[in-house]
Amino acid sequence: MAIRPLVILPDPRLREKSEPVDAITDDIRALAQDMLDTMYDAPGIGLAAVQIGVMKRVVVMDLAKKDEERQPLVLINPRITWASEETSVYEEGCLSIPDYYEEVERPARVRVAYQTLEGETVEREADGLFATCVQHEIDHLDGVLFIDRLSRLKRERVTKKFAKAAKREAAG
Ligand code: NI
């Protein structure tokens, strides 16, 4: 178990496509555990492997409320197989874009297919926060960030802010 450093905007890895997982090995199981540890530590409700610098199609989520027992979910090679015409709007944030939140419109309901850590293929329907979160995380696997779904003005503003912060940090 290990908490790993988060990959933060404008790190170019956030713009790359992640590779499919072809076998669920001990490495993948350890990766999923590290991702959960990192997500709970942050804290966040979802994390894609790219966010700890591993370019594999693995997502973890836990939508349990603070006073509820943990409900860790690991999705290997997740993909959207259906999306509703109907949309919903949620305020989104991202551990790779700290302290920035904006409302994003996405399909309100989706069907998602994935493999479990046991290698079982599952297809389930998601709505509400689950639907939003799973779409946000699958976007990460394709190098897409939630700020790409905002107006150009908002996206440019936040991109500039993080580029400046990175420069400041590099300058020490
Ligand atoms: Ni994110």
Judge if pTM exceeds 0.95. yes
User: What homologous superfamily is domain 12-171 in, according to CATH?
Assistant: Peptide deformylase (3.90.45.10)
Residue 161 CA to ligand 1 centre (angstroms): 17
Each of the 172 residues of the chain gets a pLDDT tens digit; together they read: 799 999 999 999 999 999 999 999 999 999 999 999 999 999 999 999 999 999 999 999 999 998 999 999 999 999 999 999 999 999 999 999 999 999 999 999 999 999 999 999 999 999 999 999 999 999 999 999 999 999 999 999 999 999 999 999 888 7
| Residues 77 and 123: beta-carbon distance below 8 Å | no
The Cα 25–Cα 172 span in angstroms is: 40
Residue 96 CA to ligand 1 centre (angstroms): 6
Q: Exactly one of 16, 137, 156, 169 is catalytic; which is it?
A: 137
Structure token pair of residue 154: 């908002």
CA 99 from chain centre, in angstroms, equals: 15
Domain boundaries, the chain: 12-171
| Residues 107 and 132: beta-carbon distance below 8 Å | no
Residue 87 CA to ligand 1 centre (angstroms): 19
Residue 52 CA to ligand 1 centre (angstroms): 11
* Catalytic annotation present for 137: yes
